[in-house]
Amino acid sequence: MPTKTAPKKKAPAKKAPRAKAVSKSTSTEFRNFEPYKPKRGEEYMSEDQREHFKAILGKWKAELMEEVDRTVSHMKDEAANFPDPADRATQEEEFSLELRTRDRERKLIKKIDSTIERIDQDDYGFCDACGVEIGIKRLEARPTATLCIDCKTLDEIKEKQERG
């Protein structure tokens, strides 16, 4: 009777070296705030609610600005003229991705500033298209929202149809 031989074990695959991790940005996310609990009979977009959103937006902006500072220092510290073209290309790609992310964050900071301005002008929390209340929970999810969920949905459907 033939004897079975144990299958040969494969040598573990060698892992390719990983590129150095670029800063992990949470640019479009913000956390660590206490959800607003409206008081019974409280008017929509009362002073307390506006202050709540101003605090969220201020903290979010500060986090984005810290990320900008980290990027600048990272790029200064890591900038090197590598003799190997592949290493230079990798560094250029990392820097390019980081700068693209910061550009998006720069635009977001402008949007945050304009939202804070809307709060100061008592024009915050109402849909730009139809004028209804956007809602506390939606604004906590996306403090820079300018459209109610219905108008935003219609806007996205129109955009999808235009693109084909």
Average pLDDT, the chain: 83
Does the structure show a pLDDT above 70 at 39? yes
Rounded to an integer, what distance in angstroms lies between the CA atom of residue 41 and that of residue 5?
79
Measured over the CA atoms of residue 68, residue 73, residue 77 and residue 81, the dihedral's sign is: positive
To the nearest whole percent, how much of the chain has pLDDT over 90? Answer: 59
pLDDT at 110: 97
- CATH number belonging to domain 44-124: 1.20.120.910
Locate CATH 1.20.120.910 in the chain: 44-124
State the chain's maximal CA–CA distance in angstroms. 91
162 is written with which tokens? 């235009």
The more confident residue out of 91 and 107 is 107
